[in-house]
């Protein structure tokens, strides 16, 4: 991660991803085009081209010594093993070239990485946000015939070789519907830029949590393909990448981690570290990943039977205004870390407790004016639940799950 806000932009062939890239560039983003970089790293005279020729033979060269792209495509298209060999040559070089390019960009910039195969190559975790440009198969086929003179069978084969829309929606923080008029696409991009991207970048620069509604509300899980669990796992992947070996565990906790339970639309995530000094050393990396640390001292309320008046932790929150996140950094195997996981697993297993907690949530939403009041009003219920949780753990032999 760098001080730039990194946007991964993708979409299926013919969806209009390049048009959206230009719209974002017009609003101040710096676009790094992976297709352009892929051409550069296997241009004549590069070691990349030499390796491609060594792997696939001189038949992939044209008379001028440059890569004959149609000849290479004929060799690798429809052959997953050949395509994997080509990707192993090209992709590391493209990544290195992109990193070199980003290193020259001013801190605080918005960098849009135009990556056609972002989903296929599992690159979502490299970016603060993933934007997917979508359009129906019919519209994409029409565009490919009109703009690239591609016949239907060739276009359909290219589309079938890419991820489908379900896979793209699974990782999409933002979905741009590019099936309508140009004006409709411009309006969507402008809305995303002004309401999400620009404030996100500013919040990261300032080390500030995104604003949230002050009044409490509980909602149901949005459902597949991008339910709370999917969103949480994507964020945890980004955090694992940012924190490296200092992160000893990473879990989705809280109400949004319990299937069927209503919750505030705020994801609670937990990182386990060796000690709080390790948590402090992680602070800058988490900030750059989009999770600035909140100032002050933070702790969990200790429960009966566990020593210490409070359980200290470090607390971060998401700078992204479109996805509220509470990030709890606790000592792995410490009491607060274990409580969070035990509470989650108990609620998952005990339908009666889950229903009881859901009723309490709805009652408190009606009574409480602020989220702070709501959180404080729930605390006695946790104290009441604690002995039941411990009894369930003893009866089932519960142990914390692996990281």
- Known binding site: residues? 14-19
Q: How far apart are CA 148 and CA 182, in angstroms?
A: 19
Element (H, E) at 313: strand 310-317
Q: How far apart are CA 349 and CA 172, in angstroms?
A: 30
For the CA atoms of the chain, what is the radius of gyration?
24
> Of 226, 211, 189, nearest to 321 (Cα)?
211
> Of 325, 332, 230, nearest to 286 (Cα)?
325
Q: How far apart are CA 44 and CA 61, in angstroms?
A: 10
> Read out DSSP for 171-221?
H-SEEEE-SS-HHHHHHHHHHHIIIIIHHHHHHHHHT-PPP--SS---B--
Q: How far apart are CA 365 and CA 171, in angstroms?
A: 31
What phi, psi does 384 have (nearest 5°)? -70, -35
Element (H, E) at 380: helix 371-396
Q: How far apart are CA 335 and CA 310, in angstroms?
A: 10
Binding site for ATP, by residue number, is 14-19
Q: Where are the strands (E) in 100-171, listed by range?
A: 110-114, 129-134
Q: Say if residue 340 is exposed, middle or buried (CB neighbours under 10 Å; 0-12, 13-18, 19+).
A: buried
What phi, psi does 74 have (nearest 5°)? -65, -35
Q: How far apart are CA 33 and CA 31, in angstroms?
A: 6
Specify the pairing of strand 129-134 against strand 30-33: unpaired
């Amino acid at each position: 991660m760098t001080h730039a806000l990194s946007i991964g932009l993708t979409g299926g062939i013919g969806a209009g991803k390049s048009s959206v890239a230009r719209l974002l560039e017009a609003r101040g983003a710096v676009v790094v085009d992976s297709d352009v970089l892929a051409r550069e790293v296997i241009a004549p005279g590069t070691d990349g081209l030499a390796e491609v020729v060594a792997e696939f033979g001189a038949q992939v060269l044209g008379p001028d010594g440059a890569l004959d792209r149609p000849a290479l495509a004929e060799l690798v298209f429809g052959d997953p093993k050949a395509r994997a060999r080509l990707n192993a040559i090209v992709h590391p070089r493209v990544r290195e070239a992109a990193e070199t390019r980003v290193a020259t960009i001013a801190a605080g910039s918005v960098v849009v990485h135009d990556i056609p195969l972002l989903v296929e190559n599992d690159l979502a975790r490299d970016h603060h946000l993933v934007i997917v440009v979508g359009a129906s198969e019919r519209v994409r086929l029409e565009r490919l015939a009109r703009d690239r003179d591609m016949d239907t069978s060739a276009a359909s084969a290219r589309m079938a070789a890419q991820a489908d829309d379900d896979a793209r929606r699974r990782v999409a923080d933002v979905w741009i519907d590019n099936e309508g008029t140009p004006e409709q696409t411009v309006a969507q991009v402008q809305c995303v830029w002004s309401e999400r991207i620009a404030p996100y970048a500013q919040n990261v620069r300032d080390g500030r949590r995104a604003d949230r509604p002050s009044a409490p509300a509980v909602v149901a899980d949005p459902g597949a393909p991008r339910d709370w669990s999917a969103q949480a796992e994507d964020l945890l992947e980004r955090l694992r990448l940012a924190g490296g070996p200092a992160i000893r565990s990473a879990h989705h906790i809280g109400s949004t981690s319990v299937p069927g339970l209503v919750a505030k639309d705020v994801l609670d995530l937990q990182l386990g570290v060796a000690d709080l000094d390790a948590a402090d050393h992680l602070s800058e990396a988490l900030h750059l990943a989009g999770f600035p640390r909140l100032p002050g001292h933070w702790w969990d309320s200790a429960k009966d039977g566990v020593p210490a008046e409070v359980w200290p932790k470090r607390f971060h929150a998401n700078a992204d205004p479109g996805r509220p996140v509470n990030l709890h950094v606790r000592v792995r195997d410490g009491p607060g870390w274990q409580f969070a996981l035990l509470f989650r697993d108990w609620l998952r297993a005990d339908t009666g407790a889950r229903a009881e907690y859901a009723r309490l949530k709805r009652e408190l939403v009606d009574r409480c004016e602020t989220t702070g009041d709501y959180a404080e009003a729930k605390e006695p219920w946790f104290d009441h639940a604690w002995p039941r949780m411990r009894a369930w753990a003893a009866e089932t032999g519960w142990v914390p799950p692996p990281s």
